Amino acid sequence: MLGGGIPEKHVVGVIGSYGTGKTTLGLQFIHAGLQNGESCVIISLDEDEESVIENAASIGIDLKRYGERIQIFRLEAVELRKSLEKIESDIPEIIKSMKARRLVIDPISVLETLYDDAGRFRMLSTLRRILKSAGITALIVSEADKDNPTSSKYGLLEYICDGVICLKVVRKDELDEPTLGIEVVKMRRVNHSRKPKPYAITDKGIVVYEEAEIF
Ligand SMILES: Nc1ncnc2c1ncn2[C@@H]1O[C@H](COP(=O)(O)OP(=O)(O)OP(=O)(O)O)[C@@H](O)[C@H]1O
Ligand SMILES: [Mg+2]
């Protein structure tokens, strides 16, 4: 769907409603980096380190075997907001000292909730600037808007990202079994398909059925 993958150093938003597999996708992205010999960072705003490790184990990813190459930080949104300046210096430092190549922030919505619109945009722009100058490939996970599954909760993230991948629950009729659909909404510098494709969450993580149609 991406014609080869996410370009290096892109900052990409992953948008989806609860339980659509955002965290799973983030873990698979990190795992691919680890398997490639890269160092990776996970910043979790909702789960502690142990539970991130357990989530990974449930889809067959043993994060512990990668030792120092994977760093997991559990951050409290309130703390993060209070010390955004500290974060501005900490994140580049961590990335630099680890020579990290991939980073996941999951979910940004928890932090976005603490700002008004103007503050939220400033925070996201700052985050983009930090990630861009660190030259890291990043996934920023966000809850979807409850009325528009291709939009993030506050409708701002998609503007500061180089790419947006959307995970959606689709139903033909209200009482039908839901189908999961993945869509590349934008990806700068990539001639990507815009057609949503069905996917499933399995015990090996997300599997996209590229040859299939949603209905
Ligand atoms: N082994 C599995 N087989 C099938 N489905 C699974 C499996 N493991 C998890 N799931 C499904 O994936 C969902 C969780 O995926 P994940 O945590 O990645 O979603 P999320 O979008 O991050 O959710 P949240 O909004 O709660 O953070 C579960 O609710 C379940 O429906
Ligand atoms: Mg999650």
Least confidently predicted of 34-38, 51-55, 164-168, 210-214: 210-214
- Residue 18 pLDDT more than 90? yes
Instruction: State the architecture of 11-167 in CATH terms.
Output: 3-Layer(aba) Sandwich (3.40)
**Domain edges within the chain:** 11-167
pLDDT at 110: 93
For the segment 101-153, what is each residue's pLDDT rounded down to a tens digit?
999 999 999 999 999 999 999 999 999 999 999 999 999 999 999 999 999 99
**Buried b vs exposed e over 64-73: b needs ≥16 C-beta within 10 Å?**
eebeebbbbe
Q: Is the CB of 202 under 6 A from ligand 1?
A: yes
- Which residue did the predictor score with more confidence, 85 or 15? 15
User: What's the pTM?
Assistant: 0.96
Mutate to test the pocket of ligand 1, among 20, 169, 201 (most ligand atoms within 8 A of CB): 201
d(CA 21, CA 34): 20
Angle at 78 between CA 124 and CA 150, to 5 degrees: 40
CA–centroid distance, 132 to ligand 1, in Å, is 30
Q: Which residues surround ligand 2, an ion (CB under 5 A)?
A: 22-23
d(CA 180, CA 29): 19
For the segment 44-103, what is each residue's pLDDT rounded down to a tens digit?
999 999 999 999 999 999 999 999 999 999 998 888 888 777 778 889 999 999 999 999
pLDDT at 77: 86
Q: Is the CB of 51 under 6 A from ligand 1?
A: no
Q: Is the CB of 203 under 6 A from ligand 1?
A: yes
Q: Is the CB of 23 under 6 A from ligand 1?
A: yes
Q: Is the CB of 16 under 6 A from ligand 1?
A: yes
- For residue 103, CA distances in Å to 6, 9, 99, 178 come to 13, 10, 11, 31
Q: Determine how β-strand 100-106 pairs with β-strand 39-44.
A: parallel
Rounded average pLDDT over 1-12: 94
- The protein residue whose alpha carbon is closest to atom 6 in ligand 1 is 201
